[in-house]
Structure 1
Amino acid sequence: MLVAKGRFGQFVVPMGVVLVIVMMVVPLPSFLIDMLLALNITVALLTVLVSMFVSRPLDFSVFPSVLLVATLFRLALNISATRLVLLDGYAGKVIEAFGHFVVGGSLVVGLVIFMILVVIQFLVITKGAERVAEVGARFTLDAMPGKQMAIDADLNAGLIDEATAKQRRSDVAAEADFYGSMDGASKFVKGDAIAAIVITLINLIGGMVIGIVQRGMDPMDAVETYSLLSIGDGLVSQVPALLLSVATGLMVTRSVSDGDMGSQVLYQFSQQKRAMQIGGGAALALCLIPSLPKLPFILVGAGVLLIAQRLPNPEDIADRALEGEIVEDVPSPDSPEALIGEMRVDPLELALAPDLVDLVDTNSGDLLERVRALRRKVALELGILMPPVRTRDDLALDLSAYSIRISGVEVGAGQAPPGTVLAIGDGLDFLPGRAGVEPVFGLPGKWVPAELRHQAELTGATVVDRASVIITHLAEVVRTNAARLLGREDVRSLVEMVRRGNPVVVEELTPALLSLGQVQKVLQGLLDENVPIRDLVRIFEALSLTAKTTTDPDMLLESARGALGPAIAARFVSDGTLYAITLEPRLEQSLLEALRPTDSGLQLLVDPQRAESLISDLGRLLEQAEQQGATPVVVVSPQLRMPLRRLISVAVPRLPILSYAEIAKCTFRIETVGVVSGAYPIAA
């Protein structure tokens, strides 16, 4: 049945358009004209009703095409009726009825009504609809990039799935196409109004000329006969034209809502009891004007006041809405939903002492806005989707204190006394305040009153407000613990993001070669060493090649680092030079022989004395290089890089370790600042 209906529509609509064109050329009998005029009026009426009952304009997206076909159909009827009027002096019962019954057989009345309809359609409805369609098309096109970005952001955040995002993108594109089409379709209605005037004048002048010259009719008889037929033809065309103009105005002025227009109008009027009372009272007050009839205004005013009396009070509506929100949003404390909510551990949480709550007040603080900006910064810097930060007050904290927690465990804490700013520098003893410490770099400072900010800056101190201190601390915590914050669902979102642009890369990697968990472990390994994972395409390509031979986590991680080698090494280059610390070949060979596989990967099994000597030598060379203004890295073989990092990461966490494979394709200069030979370092 559905197929049959589809085929029916495929043939009927094109055939109808072809027949409309034929109507302009082939003469039609008067009875067929009557049928088509009735069809024209009915179609226009149905179009108006559909435009009122749809919930949103896109539900009637075919309206611009319907408007074009209906306008063409009406013009074809005008041509066919004009042919009959001029040839036979008769164009069917419908036109005759409009010429005699509707306007009372009066030429002057008919012309006046016709001109009023044309003015209403052309200057009021059509002109306004054209302007609204033009502005709507412009605003819709301007808003498209923002809507697309919002959809991508929701998709990346995991708020919607791929199917929903695809549907929303399709709706955005369809909305732009619809309003663009409506901008052009409104010109059809405007042109139709002009054509109606021209056709009616042609009928009047042509009919009188034919009647007087060709048929020898008396001038008054010719005027009466042809003028009434011409006015009847114009009126029977203007009625559906006016209906379509109204439908056009309704479509371009509709806003997106959940119901049809009638329901929305009644609902929104019913929410305004005071306005209804004032309106009814104003209608009754008009009775005080002596020359106005009293009964109509009394009936109308009393009716409006009666309706207003039956409407609920605004306070009751607000109370019921609030109660509904409370019932809906706050379940019973013993309900499963409430218990699950209390059991949930937030990935990232910022707890504030009660006296710091003003920081999250939108009127007095911008902490929440800075948190949103931090999410974007972290995404562009590290390539991960930072989880939402749950900000709440904690009565267990000391006054002026804050706590940053990951999965419920505190990883950072600090002070941010109200009404103060943190001044970092020397020479602050003369300023009142209490000592403080910058939480990221551990720099000593003083929390001074905010009104003394200028005096603190005059001493050369760096002055930071409370929100900046907390956001800087939060950003450092996120960077340091990025690997812990990268969850399985986040990895899935990243994989789907790569799939949209490079589907072959993802299809080759997962799930064919590696599971999502194995990919997550590699990405966490990169983040654990402060390596951004923005270049996922290159990472996945390297993993695909390595996973064909081994799924060892260390080997997968090294292959990913090798693919990102130039980008990793470039982070430690200063003035075009990479300062490197290397191991003496015999030492490196002995360490390679000391590698042993364990459940947590390859480990260096060396005696404690030798390990302590190695760590001490690396620390000494690091300090010497930093005193000379250099930021060195340790460069070793790829097999040794990860085990050596596991050995020294706790004692010397700020010393990066790179492999020869990572710097092999680099174009910058490499300068050796030290060589570790075992027990003692050898100066370069």
Structure 2
Amino acid sequence: MGFRFKELGTVLFVISIVVMMVIPLPSELLDLLLILNISLALTILLVSMYTKEALQFSIFPTVLLITTLFRLALNVSTTRNILSHADGGKVIEAFGSFVVGGNQVVGFVVFLILVVIQFIVITKGSERVAEVAARFTLDAMPGKQMSIDADLNAGMITEAEARARRKKIEDEADFYGAMDGASKFVKGDAIAGIIIFIVNIIGGFIIGMVIHDLSFAESASRFTTMSVGDALVSQIPALLISTATGIIVTRATSGDGLGEDISNQLFSYPRLLLIVAGGITLLGLLTPIGLLPVVPVAGLLGFAGWKMNKKQKVEQEETAQQEEEQQIEEVRSPESVVNLLQVDPIEFEFGYGLIPLADAKQGGDLLDRVIMIRRQIALELGIVVPVIRIRDNIQLRPNEYIIKIKGNQVAKGEILLDHYLAMSPGFEDDAVVGIETVEPAFGLPALWVTEENKEIAELSGYTVVDPPSVVATHLTEVIKRHAHELLGRQETRSLIDNVRETAPVLVDELIPGTLSIGDVQKVLQKLLREKVSIRNLPVILEALADHAVYTKDPDVLTEYVRQALSRQLTLQYTEPGQPLRVITAGPGLEKAISERIEQSEQGTYLAMDPETSQRIYQSMSAEVSKMVNAGQQPIILASPAIRMYLRQLMERMMPDVPVLSYSELEPHVEVQSVGMVNLT
């Protein structure tokens, strides 16, 4: 029904254009139609500017013809009113008197300038561009067809994709041919405007003196003003559409009807309709046109823009929800034997006793929690976690689960679905009775308590967590710990392409001329290994672009990047109003590490003997234990020269203890040393 209504509206609009040339129209209706003409021309210009792909405005040649006929029909109607009643309406009077200040000579000169710009500059250039583009498109068609056939024979595309590509090539060729002819409409419209202008002036002089009994001076003044106003109010929309013709040089026709195309393409940008409505309203407020002819058009455009914008938001939300549901269904779908051969980035396998966790029919919300985990890690670390493969494994114990990263088991745990995990606040309460266990994410001692003992544990100060939350927390921490392993070259390219959309100059300068995707990947992996978020990727790429011209060593580049992220690191490890308590590397330790730095072809490395390494581990472990017992987060602070080597030394023994340098902290941070590790 909607399709028929759109087609009927288009047909009636075209018929009304022809009727306008024959039937006289009142001045009030002409004012409304002239405002509509300006609005339509401005809409077409904005759509042509916002159109990105060739086929998004394929009906432009036909729209150009219709708008040209509409403008010429208005010229005929306004000429009839000017010569018959010596009245062109408020819009023409405004353009003839207000716009040019009542000076007919100025108006005539402005009209001639507009005609010259449209006819010689824009129209002539657009016609030439369309002609050359059509010729090159036709010449390139055989090569494009051969390329499609080659991809089809190689199995790179399907038959349906090949047909779609061939259709696109044919549509582009049709469009260029149509544009080559449509540019003639604009040229003819400019010539017709000059002729109509001359007819209005000469005919107006004669009719004003013979029929309306006006003097020569009165007749010349009145009809020249109205003729200039009529010419300007016609040529300004013509100039806008001529400009749109110059912008649209690569569009192709589609298989839909004209009414459907106009509805889907011309009015596919609701915000632009709101802009046009606002501009037309200002035109009525700031000029003698008044609000009477402006308000209906502006109100209609504003309401249509608001309505369509609201509809688009609903459709986007529905599309996003459908995509999310489809992704969940893909995770839930039973896998085939062939899929078992593929190594997934992340796998979560569980025994048959934990099936209710993932079964939505039994109240399980594990799949929803996984979606929230992926969003949380994207915000915290700036990486897109791959889809987590969830499956049951009969080889596991009923209540056991394991987590795999790229096919290798990295963590496991065991939970009781009918119990709650209770973690003590630091002291034990004999009233809390349960099954002793270890919290899987952080290795803390805990108890599995029943529903009856849950309230007792909470009143005793225990932290009580339900089984799904235990699994979700464990999975989150495992992904964070192994985030650097999940960031491959393909994932790095995707992140860089996302930055390219907003900062193309930065990406083009850095990649591939200065660094490769693999080089950037190594730096990002080193940051993730130390739990440094790479979400602020533009700053990271800026630092790499500044320093990669001097060194390609990923370790050194990572240090420069960390210094560029000093504000982020400061906020990550400090609390407002609180000093940063750290364990500092003493002069002896700094000297010992500096003296053992070796240089190789691959870069620098730390050559530390086992005895010295063990002494450092023991001293550092003692200081870290003091901070942990005091309820503080242990942080090691060293000079920028040895930070990365000290981190390499401590990584195997204490991977979760952050190592910072002085240059990675903001100057305003108050640093308080609660311990020092030194070598004598």
Give the TM-score of the pair, scaled to structure 1. Answer: 0.51
Deviations 1:510-553 (A, max 9, x none): 11111111111100000001111111111001101111111011
SS at match of 2:573: coil
Alignment match, 1:553: 554
Structure 1 pair 175–619 and aligned structure 2 pair: CA distance change class (3 A)? farther
Alignment match, 2:510: 509
Structure 1 pair 563–17 and aligned structure 2 pair: CA distance change class (3 A)? farther
SS at match of 1:23: coil
**Structure 2 Cα separation of the partners of residues 629 and 420 of structure 1:** 29
Structure 1 pair 618–508 and aligned structure 2 pair: CA distance change class (3 A)? same
Report how far residue 490 of structure 1 moved: 1.3
Contact 1:638 1:661 (8 Å CA) reproduced:
yes
SS at match of 1:460: coil
Alignment match, 1:570: 571
Deviations 1:156-201 (A, max 9, x none): xxxxxxx9xxx9xxx9x957934969x99xxxxxxxxxxxxxxxxx
Contact 2:579 2:671 (8 Å CA) reproduced:
yes
Alignment match, 1:177: 267
**Structure 2 Cα separation of the partners of residues 418 and 503 of structure 1:** 51
**Structure 2 Cα separation of the partners of residues 638 and 625 of structure 1:** 23
Letter aligned with residue 383 of structure 1: G
SS at match of 2:614: helix
- Larger RCO: 1 or 2 (CA < 8 Å, sep 6+): 2
Deviations 1:19-65 (A, max 9, x none): 55422349xxxxxxxxxxxxxxxxxxxxxxxxxxxxxxx99989x97
Contact 1:427 1:459 (8 Å CA) reproduced:
no
Alignment match, 1:366: 365
Contact 2:569 2:664 (8 Å CA) reproduced:
yes
1:497 equivalent in alignment to 2:511: no
Alignment match, 1:420: 419
Unaligned runs of 5+ in 2: 1-12, 26-55, 78-164, 166-250, 252-260, 275-307, 313-332
**Structure 1 Cα separation of the partners of residues 414 and 602 of structure 2:** 38
1:528 equivalent in alignment to 2:534: no
Alignment match, 2:394: 395
Report how far residue 69 of structure 1 moved: 8.2
Alignment match, 1:55: none
Letter aligned with residue 614 of structure 2: E
Alignment match, 2:608: 606
Structure 1 pair 18–72 and aligned structure 2 pair: CA distance change class (3 A)? closer
**Structure 2 Cα separation of the partners of residues 650 and 509 of structure 1:** 33
Structure 1 pair 442–675 and aligned structure 2 pair: CA distance change class (3 A)? closer
Deviations 1:566-597 (A, max 9, x none): 32133222443222333343542342121013
Report how far residue 404 of structure 1 moved: 0.9
Structure 1 pair 632–515 and aligned structure 2 pair: CA distance change class (3 A)? same
Structure 1 pair 597–69 and aligned structure 2 pair: CA distance change class (3 A)? closer
Alignment match, 2:279: none
Alignment match, 1:671: 672
SS at match of 2:642: helix
Contact 2:344 2:407 (8 Å CA) reproduced:
yes
**Structure 2 Cα separation of the partners of residues 535 and 608 of structure 1:** 38
Contact 1:572 1:632 (8 Å CA) reproduced:
no
**Structure 1 Cα separation of the partners of residues 605 and 594 of structure 2:** 10
Structure 1 pair 473–19 and aligned structure 2 pair: CA distance change class (3 A)? same
**Structure 2 Cα separation of the partners of residues 631 and 460 of structure 1:** 22
Structure 1 pair 174–420 and aligned structure 2 pair: CA distance change class (3 A)? farther
Structure 1 pair 629–69 and aligned structure 2 pair: CA distance change class (3 A)? same
**Structure 1 Cα separation of the partners of residues 452 and 630 of structure 2:** 40
**Structure 2 Cα separation of the partners of residues 424 and 15 of structure 1:** 77
Contact 1:61 1:178 (8 Å CA) reproduced:
no
Q: How does 1:76-475 map to 2 (within 5 A)?
A: 177-178=267-268, 339=338, 341-363=339-361, 364-425=363-424, 433-450=434-451, 452-475=453-476
Deviations 1:221-251 (A, max 9, x none): xxxxxxxxxxxxxxxxxxxxxxxxxxxxxxx
Report how far residue 469 of structure 1 moved: 0.3
Deviations 1:359-412 (A, max 9, x none): 111131111101101110100011010111111000011111111111111111
SS at match of 1:418: coil
**Structure 1 Cα separation of the partners of residues 493 and 59 of structure 2:** 36
1:23 equivalent in alignment to 2:22: yes
Structure 1 pair 373–599 and aligned structure 2 pair: CA distance change class (3 A)? farther
Contact 2:403 2:475 (8 Å CA) reproduced:
yes
- Bigger mean CA offset, 609-618 vs 548-557: 609-618
**Structure 2 Cα separation of the partners of residues 460 and 676 of structure 1:** 36
Structure 1 pair 18–395 and aligned structure 2 pair: CA distance change class (3 A)? same
Alignment match, 2:654: 652
Contact 2:527 2:533 (8 Å CA) reproduced:
yes
**Structure 1 Cα separation of the partners of residues 19 and 377 of structure 2:** 62
Report how far residue 644 of structure 1 moved: 1.6
Alignment match, 2:481: 480
Report how far residue 621 of structure 1 moved: 2.5
Contact 1:602 1:643 (8 Å CA) reproduced:
no
Contact 1:596 1:604 (8 Å CA) reproduced:
yes
Structure 1 pair 443–587 and aligned structure 2 pair: CA distance change class (3 A)? closer
Report how far residue 489 of structure 1 moved: 1.6
- Bigger mean CA offset, 428-437 vs 616-625: 428-437
**Structure 2 Cα separation of the partners of residues 564 and 519 of structure 1:** 16
Contact 1:428 1:446 (8 Å CA) reproduced:
no
Contact 1:603 1:646 (8 Å CA) reproduced:
no
Deviations 1:474-520 (A, max 9, x none): 00001111101112221111101111111111111111111111111
Structure 1 pair 550–469 and aligned structure 2 pair: CA distance change class (3 A)? same
**Structure 1 Cα separation of the partners of residues 455 and 58 of structure 2:** 63
Moved segments of 4+, more than 6 Å: 14-18, 58-62, 68-73
**Structure 1 Cα separation of the partners of residues 69 and 364 of structure 2:** 58
Deviations 1:224-281 (A, max 9, x none): xxxxxxxxxxxxxxxxxxxxxxxxxxxx9xx99xxxxxxxxxxxxxxxxxxxxxxxxx
**Structure 2 Cα separation of the partners of residues 502 and 59 of structure 1:** 28
Structure 1 pair 454–507 and aligned structure 2 pair: CA distance change class (3 A)? same
Aligned-residue Cα RMSD (Å) equals 4.5
Alignment match, 2:85: none
Letter aligned with residue 374 of structure 1: I
Q: How does 1:33-48 map to 2 (within 5 A)?
A: none
Bigger radius of gyration, 1 or 2?
Answer: 1
Letter aligned with residue 526 of structure 1: L
Report how far residue 423 of structure 1 moved: 2.3
Identity in percent:
36
SS at match of 1:385: coil
1:661 equivalent in alignment to 2:663: yes
Structure 1 pair 544–17 and aligned structure 2 pair: CA distance change class (3 A)? farther
**Structure 1 Cα separation of the partners of residues 489 and 561 of structure 2:** 19
Contact 1:578 1:632 (8 Å CA) reproduced:
no
Structure 1 pair 487–20 and aligned structure 2 pair: CA distance change class (3 A)? farther
1:595 equivalent in alignment to 2:597: yes
Letter aligned with residue 668 of structure 1: V
Unaligned runs of 5+ in 1: 1-13, 27-57, 80-162, 185-251, 257-328, 680-684
Letter aligned with residue 549 of structure 2: K
Contact 2:592 2:679 (8 Å CA) reproduced:
no
SS at match of 1:639: coil
Letter aligned with residue 572 of structure 1: Y
Contact 1:17 1:69 (8 Å CA) reproduced:
no
**Structure 1 Cα separation of the partners of residues 639 and 456 of structure 2:** 54
**Structure 1 Cα separation of the partners of residues 453 and 334 of structure 2:** 45
Letter aligned with residue 402 of structure 1: Y
Contact 1:566 1:666 (8 Å CA) reproduced:
no
From 579, 584, 587, the counterpart of 1:585 = 587
Contact 2:57 2:265 (8 Å CA) reproduced:
no
**Structure 2 Cα separation of the partners of residues 622 and 370 of structure 1:** 34
SS at match of 2:454: helix
Give the TM-score of the pair, scaled to structure 2. Answer: 0.52
